[in-house]
A and B are shown apart, each in its own frame.
Chain A
């Protein structure tokens, strides 16, 4: 199950953060997202394995915590996408598929002439799309 998702801008400015777990977890997720930014930075600047995977947008598992697994994705335009799940065992294909759709939803939102680059995404169409993508996470194995 997805606990929360986030989109973070080029200057590490939050563009979108949504939690899908009831309760007072907002602060905790802010913290998780914040910590994952450093890991993304590190992964991109000091890749352990040089080669083709160097510039792949999908960054894989960023770090596991006791309760969550955190995944990352970095677009060509340096927009960071973060996924926090409660499942300890998540299929790689599902995560990739999720980011693919999440990124596509962001691109549509950024194409709205009234979206201000670097500012929070407030369009309801984006929120609805993300909610649908989150709901269908893992439901199909289509990549």
Chain B
């Protein structure tokens, strides 16, 4: 288990916030359109991941600026920052980090609530769909911009009847930074 952390440990600059329903409904309509466009559910999962990746790549600068976070060099800290600051800042919910592998290269982000899934009830025809898969892409894209190559996937999904959303995060490779960043202290 990760050490307990309080959300207040990570203050971040205020961001413009809007009612979530437009975002939630837009995402839902995109997923439904993709399911119509592609017969294979697997392909829809892939498209959502790609969309997320492109978003993550663009979002990271904004995130670093607003969160006042100096670049995380440790994967362990990075996971905490995603869970406590990233999710909170963008989606208004926070995740917990748990299930670390022995070598510290893998962990899970656990969410028991997530605005993307509001109003959603999956029909039986959507077996195999990871409805919120865009989130995996966002995390993967953002981490790649801070030199961490990762594999990110859903292993539990409340829309499929699991007790929580669980995103498995695996560090594949950490590329050395061009300009090593030293903390002042």
Question: Is the C-beta of A112 less than 8 angstroms from some C-beta in chain B?
Answer: yes
Encode contact with A along B103-127: 1 for CB under 8 Å, 0 otherwise: 0000000000000001111110010
Q: Which single member of B25, B122, B123 contacts A111 (CB below 8 Å)?
A: B25
Q: Which single member of A113, A122, A124 contacts B119 (CB below 8 Å)?
A: A113
Q: List 25 A-B contacts (CB under 8 A).
A: A108-B119, A111-B21, A111-B24, A111-B25, A111-B28, A111-B118, A112-B28, A112-B119, A112-B120, A112-B121, A113-B25, A113-B28, A113-B29, A113-B31, A113-B32, A113-B119, A113-B120, A114-B32, A114-B120, A114-B121, A114-B123, A114-B126, A123-B121, A124-B121, A125-B121
CB-defined contacts of B29 to chain A, threshold 8 Å: 113
Categorize the interface residue count of chain B: 10 to 19
How many angstroms between the C-alpha atoms of A111 and B25 in the bound complex? 7
CB-defined contacts of A112 to chain B, threshold 8 Å: 28, 119-121
CB-defined contacts of B126 to chain A, threshold 8 Å: 114
Encode contact with B along A110-142: 1 for CB under 8 Å, 0 otherwise: 011110000000111100000000000000000
A110 and chain B: residue at smallest CB distance:
B119
How many cross-chain pairs have Cβ atoms below 8 Å apart between A and B?
A: 28
CB-defined contacts of B24 to chain A, threshold 8 Å: 111
> What is the minimal beta-carbon distance from B36 to any residue of chain A, in angstroms?
11
Chain A residues within 8 Å of B, Cβ to Cβ: 108, 111-114, 122-125
Contacts of B24-72 to chain A: CB distance below 8 A = 24-25, 28-29, 31-32
- Report, nearest first, the 10 A-B pairs whose CB atoms are least far apart: A113-B28, A111-B119, A123-B121, A113-B32, A112-B119, A114-B123, A112-B121, A125-B121, A113-B29, A108-B119
How many angstroms between the C-alpha atoms of A129 and B94 in the bound complex? 28
> What is the minimal beta-carbon distance from B115 to any residue of chain A, in angstroms?
12
> What is the minimal beta-carbon distance from A111 to any residue of chain B, in angstroms?
4
CB-defined contacts of B123 to chain A, threshold 8 Å: 114, 122
B118 and chain A: residue at smallest CB distance:
A111
> What is the minimal beta-carbon distance from B159 to any residue of chain A, in angstroms?
11
Encode contact with A along B10-30: 1 for CB under 8 Å, 0 otherwise: 000000000001001100110
CB-defined contacts of A114 to chain B, threshold 8 Å: 32, 120-123, 126
Residue with the highest number of chain B CB atoms closer than 10 Å, among A113, A114, A122: A113
A107 and chain B: residue at smallest CB distance:
B119
How many angstroms between the C-alpha atoms of A74 and B22 in the bound complex? 25
CB-defined contacts of A111 to chain B, threshold 8 Å: 21, 24-25, 28, 118-119
CB-defined contacts of B120 to chain A, threshold 8 Å: 112-114
How many angstroms between the C-alpha atoms of A112 and B121 in the bound complex? 6
CB-defined contacts of A125 to chain B, threshold 8 Å: 121
How many angstroms between the C-alpha atoms of A43 and B138 in the bound complex? 53
> What is the minimal beta-carbon distance from B44 to any residue of chain A, in angstroms?
13
Given A108-B119, A112-B28, A123-B121; 16 other pairs, CB 8 A cutoff: A111-B24, A111-B25, A111-B28, A111-B118, A111-B119, A112-B119, A112-B120, A113-B25, A113-B28, A113-B29, A113-B31, A113-B32, A114-B120, A114-B122, A114-B126, A124-B121
